[in-house]
Structure 1
Amino acid sequence: MADQHKNDTTHFGYEDVRTEDKVNRVADVFHSVAGKYDLMNDLMSGGVHRLWKRITIEQSGVRTGNTILDIAGGTGDLTMRFSRLVGPSGKVVLADINDSMLKVGRDKLLDKGVTGNVEFVQANAECLPFPDNTFDVITIAFGLRNVTDKDAALRSMARVLKPGGKLMVLEFSKTDNPLLTKAYDFYSFNILPQMGSMIAGDADSYRYLAESIRMHPDQETLKSMMQDAGLTNCKFQNMTGGIVALHTGIKP
């Protein structure tokens, strides 16, 4: 059975790779880009990623004393805001599978004086190392598309949510505007790798990121996957013409 699983394949962007190899391939991407991640996010989105994240924060309903899990939290943009909202009586766990991203995030938050109520955990979203019913809110921003088994990850997130807790998935998605799609494709596959090469010294990683967006489930599919994971009241909100969508679901 184990040998059979080794022959399973999945997609790494547009490339088919062995399932067991994808985690390492994705890790290599983020080891490569970690140091320039924040700068590239600002350049790639024209700063709009800050608006997408602000909307996520505003709709989270996070209050003083809450316990928050920020999965694929990377360089800590959401964690920093959540830390202020939950206050000294709350806690925010910044989790990322990639130790390079986690180190950049930890250093950035320490530099900004964000300490005390933040914990850093290296963790795989598919098998989160937390007890059942732990968190009031879980966010995963621009991370789900890099997860090999998305269904397993969603089930894992649902497991560690408290009853009544909210999962929020902020991710690149699909636009149904043909003109916008054409412009976005040109930008993603022509401009983006060049920017990656000039700024981060790595065109291939940004080419993978563009491809991974195209391979990610569309809005309705992801909504169904969240429902299948046991969440209720699942819905999504398109932003920037559907280039990004914010999915939410509640643990019954």
Structure 2
Amino acid sequence: MSDKKQDTTHFGYQEVPVDEKVKRVADVFHSVAGKYDLMNDLMSGGIHRLWKRLTIEQSGARAGMQVLDIAGGTGDLTRKFSRLVGPSGKVVLADINDSMLKVGRDKLINAGAAGNIEYVQANAECLPFADNTFDIITIAFGLRNVTDKDAALRSMQRVLKPGGKLMVLEFSKTDNPLLTKAYDFYSFNILPQMGKLIADDAESYRYLAESIRMHPDQETLKQMMNDAGFVGCRYQNMTGGVVALHTGIKP
């Protein structure tokens, strides 16, 4: 027997039918794909590059490894992992959104990316890979858009090799009241206007701001990873908790 909680989910601050959220999120990223890199730089003042660099540095990626970059979008992490794992390794850039995947593939090919990259359109909740395939899985700024986050974490745990590492880089919660106030003002006033000006799409960026607020806080996500079967789960706050990097190991 189903109930309202199972049948609906959050799309930003709205409550929508579960099957409708996937389409709505897809529409957002179809809309923003072409300006995604530019908007990331503008929205974060370029700091997203530092957050991603720290993720790479802490990944432990080395030659010969198999890496899965979920919600990899325009390929920032994939490109760096490709260099680290070398010709004997492999990086899979996976995204549920074909517009984002095409932008990422074109960007990487134009940059002369190595032949050790594969591109797969995939839903994080039911990853189309065999058990125990990957040494490292990353999902950067993508988990908050997943409808069933618990299912996605279990799916990631399944396809990791024993001893493999999951890294979740995501906007999170700051415990500094002044920073929170400034962040909220920026997110709900400045960000949609930037989206309107640069990408001619204020609504998509309003959703992105709302989706950040609806995402689980640091301790909640850490517990979700524990519940999905990961061990040694921990997180590191960046920029005062605006962003957090969660890591967990498959036993």
1:115 is displaced (CA, Å) by 3.2
Partner of 1:233: 232
Query: Could you give the per-residue CA deviations for residues 216-248 of structure 1, whole angstroms, max 9, x where no partner exists?
Result: 000000000000000000000000000000000
Counterparts of 2:152 and 2:62, CA distance in 1: 25
Matches within 5 A, 1:86-235: 86-235=85-234
1:7 to 1:56, Cα distance in 2 relative to 1, 3 A? closer
Residue 41 of structure 1 is matched in structure 2 by 40
Cα contact 1:139–1:168 (8 A) shared by 2: yes
Q: Distance in 2 between matches of 1:89 and 1:112?
A: 20
Q: Distance in 2 between matches of 1:238 and 1:127?
A: 28
Partner of 1:67: 66
Aligned residues: 251
Aligned AA (2:32): V
1:217 alignment partner, SS class: coil
Distance of 2:221 and 2:46 partners within structure 1: 26
Relative to structure 1, the CA distance from residue 7 to residue 64 in structure 2 (aligned partners, 3 Å threshold; closer, same or farther) is closer
Tell me the secondary structure at the aligned position of residue 138 of structure 2.
Answer: strand
Deviations 1:161-196, CA, capped at 9 Å, x for gaps: 000000000000000000000000000000000000
Aligned to 2:81: 82
Tell me which stretches of 4 or more aligned residues in structure 1 moved more than 2 Å: 3-7
Measured in 2, the distance between the counterparts of 1:11 and 1:34 equals: 22
Matched, 1:53 2:52: yes
Report how far residue 6 of structure 1 moved: 11
Matched-pair identity in %: 83
Gaps of 5+ in 2: none
Aligned partner letter, 2:146: V
TM-score normalised by the chain length of structure 1: 0.98
> Cα RMSD over matched residues?
1.2
Q: 1:23 is matched with which residue?
A: 22
- Contact 1:99-1:122 within 8 A present in 2 as well: yes
**Alpha-carbon separation, structure 1, partners of 2:87 and 2:60:** 17
AA of the residue aligned to 1:17:
V
Q: Return closer, same or farther for 1:179/1:232 CA change in 2, 3 Å cut-off.
A: same
Report the secondary structure of 2:31's partner residue. Answer: helix
Query: What SS does the aligned partner of 1:62 have?
Result: coil
Kindly state the Cα deviation for residue 10 of structure 1 after the two structures are TM-superposed. Answer: 0.3
Partner letter of residue 200 of structure 2?
G
3-state SS in 1 of match to 2:152 = helix
